[in-house]
Amino acid sequence: MSKWSWRITAAGIPTEHLPHIFDRFYRVPGKGTAPSPEQGLGLGLSFVAWIVKAHNGKIEVESTPGKGTRFIIRLPNEGVGSDTMELVGVA
């Protein structure tokens, strides 16, 4: 299993929204404002989750409001052989 993670050091996602962030068109409301296209369309994370699941992987999220959010993707290593690894860096 391969693991990738990245951290976004921004406002973080409130706990009550975490179960929904991978739903299509779901957007965390801004402070006192309606979601706008500049805040996203609510599709990006649903696409990521769909792609990860299509490859038999898992995606997790950890978030602390005011501190940031960490996304973790785990994908199986099936089908990755030494021949694939040899292609890395070949011009």
Other C-beta atoms closer than 10 Å to the C-beta of 19 total 10
Q: What angle do CA 76, 81, 87 make, to 5 degrees?
A: 115
Judged against a pLDDT cut of 70, whether residue 7 lies above it is answered with yes
- pLDDT level of residue 77 (50, 70, 90 thresholds): confident
pLDDT (tens digit per residue) in 24-49:
998 887 666 665 656 678 889 999 99
The predicted structure's pLDDT at residue 86: 38
Domain locations in the chain?
A: 2-29+40-81
| pTM of the predicted model as reported, rounded to 2 decimal places | 0.70
> The dihedral of CA 7, 13, 14, 15: what is its sign?
negative
Cα–Cα distance, 9 to 46 (Å, whole number): 21
Q: Which CATH architecture has domain 2-29+40-81?
A: 2-Layer Sandwich (3.30)
